[in-house]
Chain A
């Protein structure tokens, strides 16, 4: 939440001052005077993003120098600072501050927007629009001149996009009707149609008849914007284990309802909560889904869809997939059947990765590796 935006400039007689501020008088003069060397800096720090914390507030700004002989001191120095409370994570705002500084530089050069005398009303008006837009809508588009519109959008998170693998399964975390309200490009629309929480990326690409890398790029975009989440592919040979978060399911009534609705085999007869909980607790290391469903619990009789149960568990962190890592013991020779697999048996590759890279099915891999005594398997 931005508390205040102020425009500070170097006045030719008064030195650094706050020329405009919305809301008014949020940053008192005394405080500004003690930190102004970080806001109107020496020229060697110009155009750098500077974040200062002091007196319980955090100031994010970017000092700009515009050199021109028309200005009184041959340069116009200004800085638009966003002010936050000290605990605020300002990283999403940092690029916005820089972008805004660039817009204002442009507007100043072309229209003397900041230094011109006739704009005493427009500048605070503009800052107010930015403040309200970013705080309420998380974005703003302000038309400043015939050829300049200020577009600012607050990103939800700033990180490198996570790579999407062939065997990942995308799951929607936003209801489908909300999804369809957004204006997606044609490819995304086509891909979205096949995102059902069960098919993996490669399958989606085949079904949607879209090139695999395009699908990945699309899904990566959706993942980045938190419309989908990735879970591991469901197989009956998978092993899952319940995590400590399972207590959330007991305590959080909302999650409970969501869970029961999600894992139900049919909408009309939802399963008992006790059964769902019991089934989650039955996921222990060493028990495959297959064993669980055939020997211990009959999910059909309990009106539970085991695929969805696993999917929900993974999405909410109630379950954790246990991966199988084959390791070739050093100093022992492997049989010729396993020889071609040796590069993958270094303990860094799990079964999913090996299958994907070599095209050998889990079952076949199991057969080959079980037959060899010099290979041990770690589950983690």
Chain B
């Protein structure tokens, strides 16, 4: 359901001492006598459409149809005379200075009426007021299709507001509107004198002579062309507007049209992200207004797809918040997109919204940029998660130029949103204890070679718990608890029915596997173990007891360093933080992190999907 985002028309309406007038209307089209006498039309209203239609009525019903036909014909506003428009687009003074929105059947009028009556005019015009046409209110109105979503019409409403306010401001400063209105009215008068009913030629004359009309025409044409409007009204007041829906090509995504994906992207902005300019640097710099912030220029010049925002902040000597603001601005305007900085370990996949049609315009553009390469083949390569270039490629294309070309291809595809980056997310979900129950021991004992048997695991678990249950004060006193004491505690706690002896042997066998404690004597071993449990307990303090148990069961938790790192990373294991984020914030290398994840793989589940910040999906 692709929407047509373009406005149907732009109108300039004024009300003055000589009544309400539509001063300018673009685009204009000669109407082919849409006039239907009111009497004829009203007859049709009597028909109840739910009554059984009698043959006679059928003809009347068909007559009624043209009255209720669409107001949009071939994308141009039809069916409204200028008088009708002028009458309802000029509102009572109470509604001035507020957003204005009226929908009539399938067209919607959004505008911003401004009252000019309270402007302090100079003496001259005060005197002229009685003789001259004096403008009291003005409204710039965009005519839209009624089926456009709310967020689009809100954007147009903002533009209408900018224009109305700017016109009012210019009127105050140099009577811009009065001057322009005079030109337009002269054109109308001339047309009526010559008896020429042809609105098209009148409008053409107006556009030719009036600067304001030219400006409104430009606004309309820019909106249709690319959705960006930047100019100086009367070479004085800056108007800048963009329709993000159009810039980001959201209507091609085929989803419901809202700005939500863009705002969501921006809300996930983090210092490890990078930006990718969507246009060449020089083009962007030219596009910036004269009074743009020098910080913006510096940012654009220094941006490289391999740098993250933190680096950029250091290089541009700006604070990270400032960088955020600039980046949000650039992303909203479609000058840049968020990416994770390019690196060899990034994994990309074809975007579901990519257009795979064989002879698409995109593929021709691609062939223009990269000679000898076909877009389809590149897309096929990213059908499966792939790195920027495979290691094989590196071997077969030894020349660095080709590698560089591959990188360029990836950048190009990212710019056109053909590929998305996949990230790995981690979730901490332990299996339930039930899994370790003796009944299923057979299936698990051979699975985990580090554990001698499942029953031993249970014992450790329970002894661990028993220590935790003890009062901390007693533990400090109890430093000399012997092995047997502990074992007896175990047996009391244990409900599995294992004999004390068995648990002791398993216990010691387990203990001997931990290299860090091999040097310790038998007596202090238990003490160390307790210390370790206490460490585990404090490290994993935040977690639920169930999770704690499961983590302690992982063999790697015996290694304090591993456990410490694991505990530090625990907050990230909720499926919302990808590996790159953990690496960035915790200053880890990828191999370190992967090794840790592998050690605790029993309680972790990895999942791959797109980063919400870098994908519009």
Name A's B-contacting residues (CB within 8 A).
30, 33-35, 37-38, 41-54, 64-67, 75, 89, 99, 102-103, 105-106, 109, 159, 241-244, 246-247, 250, 272-274, 277-278, 280-281, 284-286, 320, 322, 325, 327-330, 345-348, 376-380
Contacts and interface: CB of A to CB of B under 8 A. Distances in A.
13 contacts: A34-B95, A42-B88, A50-B103, A51-B108, A66-B45, A89-B150, A102-B50, A243-B609, A286-B385, A345-B358, A348-B357, A378-B380, A379-B384
Contact of B88 (A45, A106, A380): A45
Contacts of A377: 380, 383
A274 B45 contact: no
Interface string B595-617: 00000000001111110100001
A285 B608 CA distance: 10
Contacts of A64: 45
Contact of B92 (A34, A47, A103): A34
Contacts, number: 178
A367 to B, nearest CB: 18
Contact of A38 (B45, B88, B150, B427): B88
Nearest to B608: A284
A274 B429 contact: yes
Nearest to A345: B358
Contacts of A105: 45-46, 48
Going nearest first, the 3 A-B pairs with the smallest beta carbon separation are A376-B380, A51-B103, A347-B356
B68 A47 contact: yes
Nearest to A151: B50
Contacts of A241: 609
Interface in B82-118: 84, 87-88, 91-92, 94-95, 98-105, 108
Given A277-B427, A376-B377, 4 more contacts: A106-B50, A277-B605, A327-B376, A347-B358
Nearest to A324: B383
Given A67-B39, A277-B427, A378-B383, A250 B575 contact: yes
Given A67-B42, A274-B605, A379-B350, A54 B376 contact: no
B432 interface: yes
Contacts of A320: 352
Interface residues on B, range: 35 or more
Contacts of B41: 43, 46-47
A74 to B, nearest CB: 10
B358 A328 contact: yes
Given A34-B95, A376-B376, A48 B575 contact: no
A346 B383 CA distance: 17
Contact of B380 (A33, A48, A247, A327): A327
Contact of B84 (A33, A44, A322, A347): A44
Contacts of B617: 244
Interface in B422-441: 427, 429-432, 435
B553 interface: no
A174 to B, nearest CB: 23
Nearest to A250: B575
Contacts of A322: 352
Contacts of B88: 37-38, 41-42, 45
